Amino acid sequence: MKKFYSVLTLAFILGLVLNAPLYFYGQEQGGDNNVKNETTKSSSSFNPFWYFQGAIGPSFSHADLSDYGFLPDFKNVKLNGLVGFGRQFTSVIGVYGNLERGFFAGNKNSVATASVPNALYGRDMHFDNDYFGGNLNLGVNLSNWFGGYKDGRLVTVAIHAGVGQAQWKSRTFDSNTGELLRTMGYSN
């Protein structure tokens, strides 16, 4: 258990570091900076680049067994995150991929559980879930497409489309007895 908490602490510290905006895109301005000519306008030039990305943060469940429905349940906060890399080919088109890992949980009292064998009306239940997945995406920067490429743009609008796969495992328990009611995912 001590090892689990040390790994969780390390993940939390890593999450704090990765949660800060760490996206740095280095682009050369183009041309010689020492030569100034009033008739020459400053222009932006795009150079293709590779990048790495990461994110870590809290996850909240909005499933059937969540006390507050859509609102966050702070008693059941878990952790999720991703790492990825990508290539921006032009100022408009880029490709990136991500690997994800996460956990979430929830609980609800007095649940009508007719679909669970031997369940009585009003059973208190909780669940935990873990997942991992990956995806590959094509990104299109609409701001650069319609407005032209500009260095240091404050707001960028982009869309993406891609393919991915997620694997998950969910376990449902009786909150009063601790009995495992159902397991779904991975091998099932």
Cβ–Cβ under 8 Å, residues 141 and 159: no
User: Residue 41 gets which letter from DSSP?
Assistant: P
Band (pLDDT 50/70/90 cuts) for residue 103 is very high
**Predicted pLDDT of residue 121:** 63
Least confident of 5-9, 63-67, 180-184: 5-9
Percent of the chain with pLDDT over 90: 36
Instruction: Give the pLDDT band of residue 5 (cuts 50, 70, 90).
Output: low
Report the alpha-carbon distance of residue 26 to residue 28 in Å, rounded.
Answer: 7
Say if residues 115 and 152 touch (Cβ distance below 8 Å).
no
Is there a contact between 51 and 25 (Cβ–Cβ < 8 Å)? Answer: yes
For residue range 130-161, list pLDDT tens digits in order.
999 999 999 999 999 999 888 888 899 999 99
Distance in angstroms (rounded) separating the CA atoms of residues 44 and 149? 7
Beta-bridged to residue 170, according to DSSP, are: 129, 184
